[in-house]
Amino acid sequence: MNRSLRPVAPLFVTLVALAACSAPGDSGSDDAGSDSGPIKIAVVDARSGQLSSLGDWEWKGAKLAVDEWNKKGGIDGRKIQIKSFDDQGDPTIGTNLARKIAGEKYIAMIGTAESAVTIAMAPALKQAKIPNITSGQADALVEQKSEFLFLNGPTSTTYDTTLAKYLVQDKGFKKIAVITNNGSFGKGEHDAFSKAAKDLGITPVTDQVVTTDQKDFSAALSTIRSKKPQVIFIGSEEVEAGLIVKQARDLGITAPFAGAAPQGTPVFIDTAGKAAVEGTIVSSPYLGNDTSPAAQKFAAAYKAAYGEDAELHGAKAYDGTNILLTALKSSGVATGKELADAIRATQYDGLLGRFSYGADGVGITQTSIGVIQDGKLVAQK
């Protein structure tokens, strides 16, 4: 998914440093063309801080995919080696990690789930010719126009267009309030949902923006309460979104909330409280572990490996890692642009649906609607 706590930092220092390093994607680099030894893949996500749950889910999904491939012999007899790097949800740390990954000869990267961090890393990874499959969803990722950047899920436009149509056309809501944060994820959600609603003839009754480190939302929520909305669109990460919903209920707001990926997670539900999130409407490409035989198989393997239930972010990382490994297999463990081209050419039936990448790096362009009932996300027919 597409999330960050801090604004994107300048990249010119990182790019100058990268220019002095050999690029793992270059055929002349020491390890890139090797046909022996482990295949090195970096997994970059927040493993500490408020967004650490994302990193934990992503790592487990990626590792599960790699473990399954390694149990079958790896790729062309070579084991796949993955290593976790903690970006702490910080774009500056992300750019430094991009340089480290390039210097340590990793040939591809999985992550991040935070759009701002991925955007910060994108120029450096492009310079180093390292393909990156991200779980971010901000439309700004596509705007990077990097041939080395791929999404393992839909963009905010897809999430929020599906959601807006459901709210307006299917439910008949006309009085919609909006609350988003000012981070990369929140801004992306704000812009995507606002456009989708406008296209349907809806102007929000109020449009509240909070900060990514805010804890008290009473002022914004009091304004929302005064407008008496039928539904409230929320564009914020799991923990903050949960706090917003909890405080809304404490203020007597009874209107349902609606949102994208974060609102379908256990962290959101646990932070807000089961009763507070009842009826929350969610747009997601993965509505649960029983939606298909493939999802059931994945969920069983995930539970066996980690002793906990799988959710969207683990599923996205699992799909993204399998797409990367499939491309490595079909290309004979190519690197650089050749590997990027192989990813783009990969057709993959994943947990989220059928992946088919275009020039923009987006491989899947649909979500479905679910509603939280009794603490669980349930698909709407």
Residue 60 counted as domain residue: yes
pLDDT band at 12 (very low <50, low <70, confident <90, very high): very low
Tell me, rounded to whole angstroms, the distance of Cα 69 from its chain centroid.
Answer: 23
Contacts of 9 (CB under 8 A, 6+ apart): 91, 92, 95, 120
Q: How high is the pLDDT of residue 11?
A: 41
- List pLDDT tens digits, range 214-256: 999 999 999 999 999 999 999 999 999 999 999 999 999 999 9
pTM over the 0.85 mark: yes
- DSSP-derived 3-state class of residue 200: coil
Tell me, yes or no, whether 146 and 51 share the same domain.
yes
Is 1 inside a domain boundary?
no
> Rounded to an integer, what is the distance from CA 10 to the centroid of its chain?
23
Alpha carbons 197 and 350: distance in angstroms, whole number:
30
**Judgement on whether residues 44 and 147 belong to the same structural domain of the protein:** yes
- Beta strand spans in the chain (E): 39-45, 80-86, 108-111, 132-134, 149-151, 176-181, 206-210, 231-235, 257-259, 281-284, 347-349, 354-356, 368-373, 376-379
* Range(s) of the domain holding residue 97: 12-154+293-356
SS3 42: strand
Residue 318: give its domain's CATH number: 3.40.50.2300
Give me 23's structure tokens: 């690029």
Answer whether residue 23 shows pLDDT above 70.
no
Structure tokens given for 350: 């994943």
Is residue 371 assigned to a domain? Answer: no
Give the whole-angstrom CA distance, residue 58 versus residue 30: 30
Name the domain count of the chain. Answer: 2
Q: Is the pLDDT of residue 8 over 70?
A: no
- Mean pLDDT of all residues in the chain? 92
Domain assignment present for residue 381? The answer is: no
Task: Please answer whether residues 110 and 44 qualify as being in contact, where contact means their C-beta atoms are separated by less than 8 angstroms.
Answer: yes
Domain check: are 91 and 203 in the same one? no
Hey, CA dihedral for 135, 139, 144, 149, is it positive or negative? positive
Band (277; pLDDT cuts 50, 70, 90): very high
Residue 69 in domain: yes
Residues 49-84: pLDDT tens digits? Answer: 989 999 999 999 999 999 999 999 999 999 999 999
Rg (CA), the chain: 20
Whether residue 108 is found in the same domain as residue 188: no
**18 and 128 part of one domain:** yes
Amino acid 32: pLDDT? 39
Residue 363 confidence (pLDDT) above 50: yes
The residue type found at 357 is Y
Looking at the structure, do residues 302 and 247 belong to the same domain, yes or no? no
Residue with tokens 């809806």: 202
Residue 79 DSSP code = P
Up-side HSE of residue 167: CA atoms within 13 Å toward CB?
Answer: 37
Peptide bond into 112 cis (omega under 30): yes
**CB distance 45 to 84 below 8 Å:** yes
Q: Using one digit for the tens of pLDDT, what is the confidence trace for 91-144? A: 999 999 999 999 999 999 999 999 999 999 999 999 999 999 999 999 999 999
Tell me: the pLDDT tens digits for 158-213? 999 999 999 999 999 999 999 999 998 999 999 999 999 999 999 999 999 999 99
If you average pLDDT over each of 15-19, 113-117, 327-331, which comes out highest?
Answer: 327-331
User: Does 99 reside within a domain?
Assistant: yes
Considering the domain architecture, whether residues 168 and 280 belong to the same structural domain is answered as yes
Looking at the structure, do residues 253 and 133 belong to the same domain, yes or no? Answer: no
Residue that is last in its domain, among 251, 284, 317: 284
How far, in Å, CA of 338 to CA of 279, rounded?
A: 47
